Homo-oligomer: A and B are copies of this chain.
């Protein structure tokens, strides 16, 4: 089978871009509307996306603009939301974020196994350690645990969850009404995990689900994050603005995986891409300009202030003039220097600067025709930059519809993307293997040795 591009869709109901909710197409109450999320799921499924992805935090995300202008202040809890969307769709996968720091593995294992049962095998878990002080303060702490401690806990948390998902072997249920034998007691297993952070006897009280294990997803960029991802992730979300840095990351992760004895083909690397699609270049640029024009001036200023740790406050300056010379402050000097460099290199006014920052913030923004965008994706896909992409439509639903109607057919025409779903489960569609139950494997090994 030829290698195909994998596509995820980041579809927060509020839209991705800071000003998305002010766009005429975007329902202003999208963040808390089930109906809108259901429309998005069906639209992404029409585009044959592999998965619908939702990020998650365990605190209100204040900041990143003025407080009162933040449409991401409240939303759904993603696992419950995806459980609701599952019966309304039939093929698209659902990748929900959940924290290894502020949840217990027994609860994590249950909710993802349950989502996998509900969706007929379409669940994925985006493993995060939740790195904010605000979240720590919602869970009995004053300050969050050091990064290294959170990662050690994450490694063990994932290990326990996977053990719990193996509590029941695939062929455990007999359900013979005549004899009264419901299950084979020799195929249900205690977990008996006792580690540094967790002690879990098991078994899980949710049965093994259609995928065996929901797909494990991660987004680590740091050294600890790369290590965890190479060891356990099956899909990696990443953020790169340029092919060369994407290639460095791609090759590093695949090499680490190979070093750990894993098949590098079973770790799919998917950078984020924020597309503005037009039938012509001018139309695409107009869409970009339209959305960026909706950034409130005070939100733009607050964004620069936030990114520089409060050291660069441009209040009162002419937004259509150049970045002024300012006295160095006690604040975050390197971030301030970076912002200044971006402005100087591009000859940006203050307004152009915050528009660029608001739009690009970690994501690779592409503005162009379907052919131009498909060409860029193909270039990354064919040159060790990506196995697929996470599409972040800047506003919704039009940003998604544009991609489905215009870019998907162009990718299909080039033979780079599916024309129908290959399988029933997320794992099957992504081309990932079914995890053999560890207890069945151990028994098979013993039998082979005898």
- A residues at B contact (CB < 8 Å): 21-22, 24, 28-29, 32, 34, 38, 57-61, 67-71, 73-77, 79-81, 83-84, 86-88, 102-104, 106-107, 110-111, 113-115, 117-118, 134, 137-142, 168, 173, 175, 177, 180-185, 188, 198-207, 296, 299
Contact = CB atoms under 8 A, between A and B. Distances in A.
Contact of A205 (B60, B137, B139): B60
A60 B203 contact: yes
Given A32-B207, A205-B57, A185 B67 contact: yes
Contacts of A200: 137-140
10 contacts: A34-B117, A58-B106, A71-B182, A81-B118, A84-B87, A84-B118, A102-B106, A103-B104, A104-B140, A138-B202
**4 shortest interchain CB distances as A-B pairs:** A74-B207, A83-B83, A137-B201, A77-B114
Given A60-B203, A69-B181, A177-B21, A81 B80 contact: no
A52 to B, nearest CB: 15
Given A87-B38, A107-B102, A74 B206 contact: yes
B185 A80 contact: no
Contacts of A299: 180
A299 B181 CA distance: 11
Contacts of A67: 185
A177 B104 CA distance: 40
Given A73-B182, A76-B117, 6 more contacts: A60-B188, A60-B203, A71-B175, A74-B204, A87-B88, A138-B202
B139 A181 contact: no
A69 B75 CA distance: 43
B203 A69 contact: no
B29 A173 contact: yes
Given A70-B182, A74-B168, A182-B21, A138 B206 contact: no
Contacts of A61: 205
A179 B180 CA distance: 67
Contact of A77 (B29, B110, B188): B110
Contacts of A24: 177
A183 B31 CA distance: 13
A137 B200 CA distance: 6
Nearest to A31: B207
A286 B58 CA distance: 54
